[in-house]
């Protein structure tokens, strides 16, 4: 797939649909090692006067280790025809298998990280802020009961979009 650089602000799609329905493939790492996972909780918005992604990763995910140790991550939006790949990357762990091979995805390496040739949109994000969610910070405590019964709180990462690509 060939890509062209785009202005992140030119993405006309509704981000609630982009993330909540199309889903994201969040990837961090480099040639020495990388991992990716499906994510459907997060946001694409504007922070510190820059386009930014907000992604939420539980520390139990293998991807978390790469999110922690690397300065960049990518958000990949795949076409509907690759829904199978998203299901694989959202149900299997890179600890147990070669997920890229299992999902039929082709990693493309840049100086900052990894994206996938099959994506229709790619956002290369520089980690700007991260914070573990805490029970005490929830105004709505029913969310804690519903989603964090095992105290496995997400860590939020805010990544400033340094480069956005669209498949030609
Ligand atoms: C549709 C969908 C959305 C998901 N969203 C998230 C998410 O936002 N955050 C998260 O931590 N896990 C999310 N997951 C779960 C991870 O993708 C899943 O646990 C994955 O197997 C982790 O892989 P890893 O261990 O290789 O990192 C989602 C799974 C699916 C199927």
The domain spans of the chain are 3-167
Tokens coding 25? 């493939």
User: Per the confidence metrics, is the pTM higher than 0.95?
Assistant: yes
Among candidates 23, 89, 21, which has minimal Cα distance to 55?
A: 23
User: How far apart are alpha carbons 37 and 22 in whole angstroms?
Assistant: 14
Average pLDDT, the chain: 97
Cβ neighbours for 13, distance < 8 A, ≥ 6 positions apart: none
CATH 2.30.110.10 fits 3-167, yes or no: yes
Whole-angstrom distance between the N-terminal and C-terminal Cα of the chain? 7
Each residue's pLDDT tens digit, 86-141: 999 999 999 999 999 999 999 999 999 999 999 999 999 999 999 999 999 999 99
Q: Which of 90, 91, 94 to mutate to test the pocket of ligand 1 (most atoms within 8 A of CB)?
A: 90
CA 39 to chain centre: 6
Nearest C-alpha to atom 4 of ligand 1 is from which residue? 39
């Amino acid at each position: 797939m060939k890509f062209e650089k785009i202005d992140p602000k030119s993405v006309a799609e509704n981000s609630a649909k982009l993330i909540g329905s199309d889903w994201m493939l969040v990837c961090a790492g480099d040639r020495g090692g990388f991992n990716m996972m499906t994510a459907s909780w997060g946001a694409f918005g504007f922070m510190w006067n820059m386009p930014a992604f907000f992604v939420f990763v539980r520390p139990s995910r293998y991807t978390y280790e790469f999110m922690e140790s690397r300065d960049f991550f990518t958000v990949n939006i795949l076409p509907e025809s690759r829904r199978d790949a998203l299901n694989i990357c959202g149900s299997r762990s890179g600890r147990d298998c070669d997920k890229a091979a299992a999902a039929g995805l082709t990693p493309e390496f840049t100086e900052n990280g990894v994206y996938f040739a099959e994506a229709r949109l790619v956002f290369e994000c520089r980690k700007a802020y991260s914070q573990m969610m805490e029970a005490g910070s929830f105004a709505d405590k029913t969310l804690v009961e519903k989603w964090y019964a095992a105290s496995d709180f997400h860590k939020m990462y805010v990544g400033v979009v340094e480069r956005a690509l669209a498949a030609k």
